[in-house]
Structure formats: C-alpha cells, structure tokens
Amino acid sequence: MRADTIIYNIKELITPRRSLPHRGKEMSQLDVIKDAFIAIRNGKIIDYGKGNHSKYMQENTYLHDANNKIVIPGLIDSHTHLVHGGSRESEFRKKIKGVPYMDILKKGGGILSTVQQTRKASFDDLFNKAKKSLDEMLLLGVTTIEAKSGYGLNYETEVKQLEVAKKLNEIHPIDISSTYLGAHALPKEFKDDKDGYIKSVLKDMALIRNNDLAESVDVFCEEAVFNIEESRQILEEAKKIGFFLRVHADELTPLGGAGLAVELNASSADHLIAISDEDINKLAKSKTVANLLPTTSFYLNKDYANAREMIDNGCIVSVSSDYNPGSSPSENFQFTMQIACNKLRMKPKEVLIAATINAAYGLGKKEKIGSISKGKDADIVILDAPNLDYIMYHFGVNHTQDVFKFGKLVVKDRQII
C-alpha cells in the first residue's frame, strides 16, 4: 500500500509496544527503533520501522524530514477542566499565605467563583478562551484531551460548557472527550438543599446522555463536597444510563473514593494523594486507571501521590495536567510529565506510557490512539531532544518541534499551521 505521508530520518522512534493497559514492570517496556520511518495513509499509520521507506512512495507522497530527532505518539491529557470563564488570580495571594483550598471554597470563592464567571460568560467568550488553551496544548504535543464541565452547576451553563467542547472538538485538531461534572460543588441556590441538587444532577445527566454531550460522568468525592454515599448515588445512575465513570478521589482526605471507583468499575480514579494502602491494593487488582495529577500537588503545596507504590503493586497509572483555574492553572502537560519524574519518582519510560497508552485506555480509546502502531491514528510528535530522558530532565520548556494529528501536519517548527 502506498503512503500519502512519510516521516523519515527519525533518530529514535519511541512508543509503547502493545495497545493494552500497562502495569508494574510493563510500564517500563517501550520500543525504541533507531533510524526509523513512519508511513501514513488517510490519517492512519500503515507501517513504521527501521530502514527504507521507498516502497511506500508514490508520486504525490509528502515526505517529512524528522531531521534526526526523536518521535513519540501524540500526548494524551486525560483530566482537564478546559472550558471555564475567567481566572482566579484574585485568590493567589491568599493561597501563598497558606489559606487552604477548601477554606476558599467554603467562603463562596474557589470553584464557586469560577461558576459565577462561567455563568456570565457568553458561548463565544468561553469558546475563544478554551481555544487559546487548546492551541497552547497542541504546541506542546498534546493531541487528545478529556474536558470536564462543572462550572455551571445548572443545566443551562453545564450544557453551554459541553457545547463549547463539542464545537472545539469539531474545529480544532485536538480531540476532546467530554465529561459531565455537575457534582463538582453545591451551587449557592441549593446551599440548604443538597438532596435537591443531587436530584437535579440526576435529571440533567439523563438529558445530557440523550443529547450525546458527554461520554463520562465525574464526581468531586471529597469532605465538604460529595461524600461516598452521595457519589455512589450519582455514579450508579450514570453507569445505568451508559456513561463511563470518573471520580475525583482521595485528593485531600482519604474518604474512600478510589475504593468506590473500583467497586463501580470506573474508568479512572483521579488524584489519589490521600489514598489508603487498602484502596491501592483494590486499584491494583482492578481495571480502573490510577490517574495522577502532580501539577496540582505542586500548585497547592500538597503531598504527592505515592506513584511508586501504585506502580510496584500493579496499578494502571496515567498522569494528567488537571488544567483548571483553581488548583492547576497551567496547560503545560510537559511540565506535568517532568514533575511526574521528579516528584512522583516515576521513570521517564513510565511517564511516557502514563501519558500515552495508559491515558488512552482510561479514555476507552486504546485501539485508536496511545501508541505508534499499524492501523492507529497517525498522532505523532517530533521532539527537539536527543533522547527521552532529556525531555523530562530539561524542565519548564517546550521540546515539541512538529506535530501530526490524524496524519496531518498541524505544528511545524513550533508554530501552528
């Protein structure tokens, strides 16, 4: 079969070997192919490997010189709060002084401040702001993300957020998998009626399902937000009507959200800074991904999740940016990967697997993305770095040179084209 695009002169092609969730020692097993090429047709990888690519050439084949640089699969950021109004720098100095995240929320700030700003924002405001963030992500080599709602806390604004994500998914190279996070906080109008709010979440969830506006449902399962029983009620109903499940679990207190995620066969349990050893063991025996968000620990000056214990016990570990205006105000997923090494003590190979195939698995897309494999989407990043370790070591900068999304060159020489 002839290729419409060939990437050649690749110093090292670095990719997970199998389209399966990776656990334990498997998280260090990457294929590294020197002097490689990738042949692409109609957005899909038709072949890759060492040596001569000429048999795939036809008259019109676009030849892309990787200039003897390294190549990895497109990065997958599987936990973001992409679409939101405004920002929260007005709370930044309080945070520096040491006022806890939850105290700011309890006083009507935090998430509730972003809810106010998101309700006020027009569709176009939200769209333009989120598009700018997506451009930033694409320049960093991110080709797929998950994006949560959760700043409307009423039907109208939650749908506005999800519609923005849907339109961005259509017009932007980055693919977006949407999650309904109505259970992110208790809105002011339901201050004394949590049951009433949960009922409205259950009702809205069904409409969102019918309108196909989200693939997953998530709950912020945390002390003073939604407890285990409330989270269970929402997630069980979500599962019944066909959503994938995600849980903000054991971020600040060990409530047992990860155990609940395993019990309900959730796609991911996210954060896990305060998870109990018992729940690490449950996760290790399950198919639920342990999605770690070290940028949030960095920004909130919190402990880091015990990634070593999770990997060594056999959990499927992924990492994500948690990009949001309150606890992780940065789109820089490469920075997340760098501190995953430095602070979670993950090896560079483990981090690459966590940011590609394990993240793809967590989004239910392991057959389509997450590795450079025949038949998969040609989501490919060329990095201006001599080797994989260098990307994680030289931190705080963007190493991406060129990006292909579904076989199309979308970033060239660090510019979106």
- Which residues here bind ligand IZC, judged by CB under 6 A? 81, 110-111, 114, 220, 248, 324-327
Q: Least distance in Å: CB of 12 to ligand IZC?
A: 37
When the beta carbons of 118 and 373 are compared against ligand IZC, the nearer one is 118
Take residue 74 and report the two structure tokens written for it. Answer: 């497109």
Alpha helix (H) ranges present in 61-147? 92-97, 101-106, 111-120, 123-139
Take residue 210 and report the two structure tokens written for it. Answer: 């019918």
When the beta carbons of 225 and 357 are compared against ligand IZC, the nearer one is 225
Integer CA distances (angstroms), 389 to 9, 140, 161, in order: 20, 17, 37
**Cα–Cα dist 352/388, whole Å:** 9
When the beta carbons of 22 and 302 are compared against ligand IZC, the nearer one is 302
| 182 binds, options Zn ion, ligand IZC, none, Cβ within 5 to 8 A by partner type | none
Contact between 251 and 326 under an 8 Å Cβ cutoff? The reply is: no
What x-and-dash track marks residues 220-259 binding Zn ion by CB under 5 A? ----------------------------------------
Q: Least distance in Å: CB of 111 to ligand IZC?
A: 5
**Cα–Cα dist 352/349, whole Å:** 5
Q: Least distance in Å: CB of 150 to Zn ion?
A: 8
Chain mean position to CA 272: 15
Q: Least distance in Å: CB of 373 to ligand IZC?
A: 34
When the beta carbons of 306 and 327 are compared against ligand IZC, the nearer one is 327
Alpha helix (H) ranges present in 253-412? 257-263, 277-284, 294-300, 307-313, 333-342, 348-354, 357-362, 388-393
Q: Least distance in Å: CB of 84 to ligand IZC?
A: 7
Site for Zn ion in 313-332 (CB under 5 A): 322
- DSSP letter for each residue of 329-359: ----HHHHHHHHHHTT---HHHHHHHTTHHH
| 327 binds, options Zn ion, ligand IZC, none, Cβ within 5 to 8 A by partner type | ligand IZC
When the beta carbons of 88 and 282 are compared against ligand IZC, the nearer one is 88
Which residues contact Zn ion by CB under 5 A? 322
